[in-house]
Amino acid sequence: MLALWNQCSKDHEEIAPLSIASLSPAQGPAGTMVTITGIGFSTTTTANTVTFNGVPATITLATGNQLIATVPASATTGVVKISTGGKEVSGPVFTVTQPSSLTVTGINPASGPTGIDVTLTGTGFSTTAAQNKVKFNGATAVVKSATATQLVVMVPANATTGTVSVQVADKTVTGSMFTVLSPTAPTLSSVAPTSGKVGATVTLSGTGFSATSSQNIVKFNGTTATVTSAAATSLTVTVPPGATSGDVTVTVNGKTPAGIHFDVTATLTVISYDPASGNAGTPVIITGSGFDSNPSVNVVKFNGVAAQVTEATATTLKVTVPNGATTGPITVGIGADVAEGPVFTVTPLSTLTVTVSTVPLGSATLNLPRGLAIDVSGNLLVADQANNRIMKLTPSGLLVFAGSGSRSLTGPVDGPFATAQFNSPSGISVDENTGDVYVADTQNNVIRKIAAGGPVLMVQTWAGNTNGQGDISDGHGAGPFGVGAGFFYPTGIVKSKNSATWFITDYWSHIIRKMDASANVTTFAGLALNSGSDDGKGKDARFFNPGGITIDENDNVYIGDCVNGSIRKIDAAGNVTTLAKNLGQIYGLVWDGKGSLYATDYTKHKIYKVDSSGTVTTIAGTGTAGYHDGGASTAQFNFPFGLAMDSDGNLYVGDEHNNLIRKITFN
């Protein structure tokens, strides 16, 4: 019985039907690759014979139910026949057409994994990528670029081995066969060199790379690099901007082998100077990157004149302006690598003598003096911060101008000068027309007015919350929270020389406020509670803890932008620009009426002169906190804060931590 079953099984194999179900495409010119679907085909290519109306065709692929054959050159319209194993069957008619202007003459590469780019060459393609429909054995591909004779396409994820077809409008042509391979993981064996700067050329060696540059994804510690050339065993790349030290990795066809460590070294750059101007002999700190910590390795030149480097780190160099230097850029060189920085202004050696002295106070003392102002009689008014008073310095000595000395903790206390209370006053402004004094009562978050002309000086809360609470609201006058205008740590105040208008630096709000004679308060520049350094108009500008403030005769307002270390300029229309930067915290500013500003640098313990172009010159202070009277190069300050100028052009400095008033004279 078993023998009979085996014999029947063999007879069943021998009589397996041979049939043709379909042709795809069913028409085309000679050279068209046609997929013949049916049953009973031999899986051995040479065991099948295919004819187009009697003309034998070349078979390129054979399975039990599919053959791919090329329409022979001499074929004419007629039936397609297949013979195999002694059987023959006739199929549908194939219509031989005239050659189309749409052709596919080549495919490169002709094999590979899904996801790679393949270039098709031919004729009649649309130059609009989307108008070319390309399929890999029926799976639609993405056309990435197109010309009339070339298409670059990506092998789709669901592609299988078979012919590639292109359709443009109503014309379709079938090209060569593409063999889909299983992707293999690349290997990364070496990186040369193993360190370098951004922009350096690096060679990666390994296996399994794509010869198409764009199909290799190279990253330096996560930052993608540009592959400039590619072969199966090597890649040439450029260290990308933003790269940091870490592993270099290569991804090909979604597979990423273990990376190799690469050290990104700092690029040699020159960013800024402190100061940005000075005469021969001036010490200068150069800030940048990529410097050598050995001072002698760094070659510094001031507009071509070599300077001596006395101290060096990777980001700073300390040098001295050399004799013979002229205005121009500073360069830093290390070996063959040279970086050029901004222009450094070399100023002539001044014949002006600066003298710093201490102003006698008499028997009274100060405790952290801050803002200063000259009153209408020429006396110096001092915001005695920690004593919570306003003092007046006359030729006879230091007197109490307003304030009991007690700190008001629940809001401002108004009344006669002797009983009124302040809370850490900072800024002072004098109305030159009336003699009234306006005080930025900082920790009470209000503006106080001390009225002149009466039998007793009276202190009044002019604008702000009378409970002392910080607020950012625009509004009118003083009152409980939510009723009047609000401030949040007002620090500096100055009056226009042309109108009854005051400008106030609102420190913690990061804005500049404007107040008229009726105590209407508005925001002049900046956006409340939004810090930054952006220039712009009005609310588009940004400040970061504005402190110092002054104004010129054209109503240009100048701001000491403390955390930004800069001096900002606001014109009468509210346009904000940066006049000078790379400074410390500027709390004291005064306009000299001759085109220049003077400024106190609270954290660098210096006094500056700033011209209209923003050039900063140190006129006094060594840069080290201390106390010493004398010339410009030897005098020392200890956190200088307020600044005022008398009618003779002498400067007065509120030397906060020395608890003194210093005087700067020019001879």
Give the pLDDT confidence score for residue 253 in this predicted structure: 83
Q: What integer pLDDT is reported at residue 29 of this predicted model?
A: 81
In a domain? residue 6: no
For β-strands 19-24 and 33-39, DSSP reports them as: antiparallel
| Alpha carbons 547 and 545: distance in angstroms, whole number | 6
* Nearest-angstrom CA–CA distance, 124 and 121: 10
In what helix (H) or strand (E) does residue 3 lie, and over which residues does it extend?
helix 2-14
Looking only at the bridges linking them, the beta strands covering 277-278 and 337-346 are parallel
The total domain count for the chain is 5
Do the domain assignments include residue 9? no
Q: Which domain holds residue 515?
A: 355-666
- 479 in a domain, yes or no? yes
Say if 10 falls within a structural domain: no
pLDDT digits (tens, 9 = 90+) for 299-334: 999 999 999 898 999 999 999 898 889 999 999 999
Domain boundary among 133, 153, 180: 180
For residues 403 and 551, membership in a common domain is answered with yes
CATH number (domain holding residue 411): 2.120.10.30
Which of 229, 249, 264 marks a domain boundary? Answer: 264
Q: Is 11 inside a domain boundary?
A: no
- The pLDDT value recorded for residue 12 is 41
From edge to edge, which strands make up the β-sheet containing 606-610? 586-591, 597-601, 606-610, 616-620
Q: What six digits make up the tokens of 326?
A: 């002229």
Q: Please indicate, yes or no, whether residues 167 and 259 belong to a single structural domain of this protein.
A: no
Long-range contacts made by residues 453-456, C-beta under 8 angstroms, separation at least 24?
456/416, 456/417
Estimate to the nearest angstrom the gap between the alpha carbon of 17 and the chain centroid: 73
pLDDT digits over 520-534, tens only?
A: 999 999 999 999 999
What's the pLDDT at 350? 57
Shared-domain flag, residues 390 and 455: yes
- Are 256 and 276 members of one domain? no
Same-domain check for residues 217 and 290:
no
Which CA distances in Å does 241 have to 126, 222, 261, 266, 628? Answer: 37, 12, 17, 11, 48
Q: Does a structural domain hold residue 577?
A: yes
Whether 89 and 125 map to the same domain: the answer is no
Identify whether residues 110 and 87 lie together within a single domain. Answer: no
| Cα separation, 383 vs 459, whole angstroms | 14
Structure-block tokens of residue 333: 């060189």
Contact 253, 115 (CB under 8 A): yes
State which of 264, 293, 312 marks the end of a domain: 264
Q: How confident is the model over 483-521, as pLDDT tens digits? A: 889 999 999 999 999 999 999 999 999 999 999 999 999
Residues 154 and 227 in one domain: no
Residues 255 and 279 grouped into a single domain: no
**CA separation for the pair 145, 165 (Å, rounded):** 16
Has residue 13 been placed in a domain?
no
> Which residue ranges of the chain lie beneath pLDDT 70?
1-16, 99-100, 349-352
Which DSSP string corresponds to 546-581?
A: EEEEEE-TT--EEEEETTTTEEEEE-TT-EEEEEE-
CB 411 within 8 A of CB 449: no
Same domain, 490 and 407: yes
Q: Does residue 2 sit within a domain? A: no
What's the one-letter identity of residue 619?
I
pLDDT of residue 541: 98
Question: How much is the pLDDT for 15?
Answer: 52
CATH of the domain at 169: 2.60.40.10
* Claim to verify: residue 159 and residue 226 sit in the same structural domain: no
Helix (H) or strand (E) holding 24: strand 19-24
Same domain, 506 and 429: yes
